[in-house]
Amino acid sequence: MGVITRFIEERMRRAHYDLLGPGRYAGEIPELEVRVEAENLEKARARLQEALEERLLEMLRLGLPVEGLGEGDARADRFRSLVLGLWALVRGEASPSEAPAAEPALEAPKPKSLEEWLRSRGIAVQKRPVAEGEEERERVFSRLALFLGDRYSSLEKLYEKLKGSLATKRQFELSLAEASQEEIANSTQFCTLLKQYAFLTSYYYKSEDRILRAKASTEGFVQNFLTGGWLERYLKEKVAKALRSKNLPHEIAVGYQVVLPGGEPMELDLLVSVRGRVFWFEAKTGEFQAHIAKYSRIRKLLGLRPQEAFLVLLGVEKARAKELSALHEITVTTQTTFLEPFLEALENA
């Protein structure tokens, strides 16, 4: 029994504990998907060890591999046999002397869907990401988001003008006299796309003096897209492409509208489920300072580690992003670099 005792002691030493609120503590062992809540830290530790023992017995009964339990260790093998024999006894299938040395492995439990995962954390779903019949509309949004995100460095000035037009509800003017050919080509092509889909109510480019004039639509969906929705969809498309390239089954969703356990409404920009693990992304195209503390708090409420929760900002410097990550215990990154820490976290389970 020394093998199992050492395993439990080691996992309990690596457990995470968080204060969720007055009289609410959470204890978690993420690699085994064990999580409990209690009114004080002592009870949280006791409940966590009990939940860990139950989870371990269930994994052994199902024949699932348990990393760190001593693969190839004769004592571990004998313990597995004992568990299977006791389980057969409980079901009345065999006497102790007849207890089989092994039982055919059953299939591993199916990973929870994103909605089941949210409900398991006491989070109520108010609105799902994409309603039936909106797939064509989402494809348009994704096309525009990819164009803007992939070329953002050359479209930044145009994008700021577009946001200004939304705020003033007036036509804007952008001089491209000193712009590179890449900036001119990308700016005029993007405006042409926006005009085709009526995101712009007017657009004109005078090539002689390189002056671009346009006016953004005041439609609600246009405002939502241009003020930040595009970045959420850009992250979704890039994450999905990266996971497909690795042949990893996944579930991914933009814009779950939920109610948190304390009754607080919240929209979760992007949730990704891969191999039973969930990652959360929030995207900000403007000021973020008033929101980052809230995101850090919700990250703990969701039971995610800092490496599994991302705040993606436009143009933040690498050194500043690193400092913000350390201060607020959430991974702060940019639209050009977010895939690297995501894939690293995915590999380092």
pLDDT computed for residue 95 by the predictor:
46
- Name every residue whose Cβ is closer than 8 Å to that of residue 33 and which is 6 or more positions away in sequence: 55, 276
How much helix, strand and coil, in percent to the nearest 5, is found in the chain?
50, 20, 30
Give the integer Cα–Cα distance in Å for 345 and 30: 13
Entry field: residues in the chain: 349
Give residue-wise pLDDT tens across range 169-207: 999 999 999 999 999 999 999 999 999 999 999 999 999
- Counting Cα atoms < 13 Å in the Cβ hemisphere of 239 gives 29
For 8-26, what is the mean pLDDT? Answer: 84
Do residues 193 and 295 both lie within one domain? no
Nearest-Å Rg of the Cα atoms of the chain is 26
Residue 206 forms part of a structural domain: yes
Give the integer Cα–Cα distance in Å for 221 and 314: 21
What CATH code is carried by the domain that includes residue 23?
Answer: 3.30.160.250
Do residues 51 and 89 both lie within one domain? yes
Give the integer Cα–Cα distance in Å for 171 and 240: 36
Do residues 240 and 339 both lie within one domain? yes
Do residues 38 and 90 both lie within one domain? yes
Residue 339 forms part of a structural domain: yes
Give the integer Cα–Cα distance in Å for 96 and 85: 7
Do residues 200 and 257 both lie within one domain? no
Do residues 149 and 257 both lie within one domain? no
Mean pLDDT of the chain: 85
Give the integer Cα–Cα distance in Å for 194 and 34: 47
Give the domain range for residue 48: 2-109
What CATH code is carried by the domain that includes residue 269?
Answer: 3.40.1350.10
- Does residue 40 register a pLDDT over 50? yes
- Does residue 140 register a pLDDT over 60? yes
Do residues 164 and 76 both lie within one domain? no
Residue 114 forms part of a structural domain: no
Which pTM was predicted?
0.68
100 or 89, greater pLDDT: 89
- Does residue 9 register a pLDDT over 90? no
When mean pLDDT is compared across 32-46, 91-105, 185-199, the lowest value belongs to: 91-105
In the DSSP assignment, the letter for residue 314 is S
Contact 252, 116 (CB under 8 A): no
- From 75, 109, 143, the end of a domain falls on 109
Total domains in the chain come to 3
Buried b (16+ CB within 10 A) or exposed e, 128-149: ebeeeeeeeeeeebbebbbbbb
Give residue-wise pLDDT tens across range 50-94: 888 887 877 766 555 666 665 444 455 555 555 555 655 555 544
Q: What percent of the chain shows pLDDT beyond 70?
A: 83
Residue 77 forms part of a structural domain: yes
What pLDDT band is residue 126 in, cutting at 50, 70 and 90? confident
pLDDT computed for residue 112 by the predictor:
74
Give residue-wise pLDDT tens across range 217-276: 999 999 999 999 999 999 999 999 999 999 999 999 998 899 988 888 999 999 999 988
Residue 117 forms part of a structural domain: no
Do residues 104 and 147 both lie within one domain? no
Do residues 6 and 93 both lie within one domain? yes
What CATH code is carried by the domain that includes residue 179?
Answer: 3.30.1370
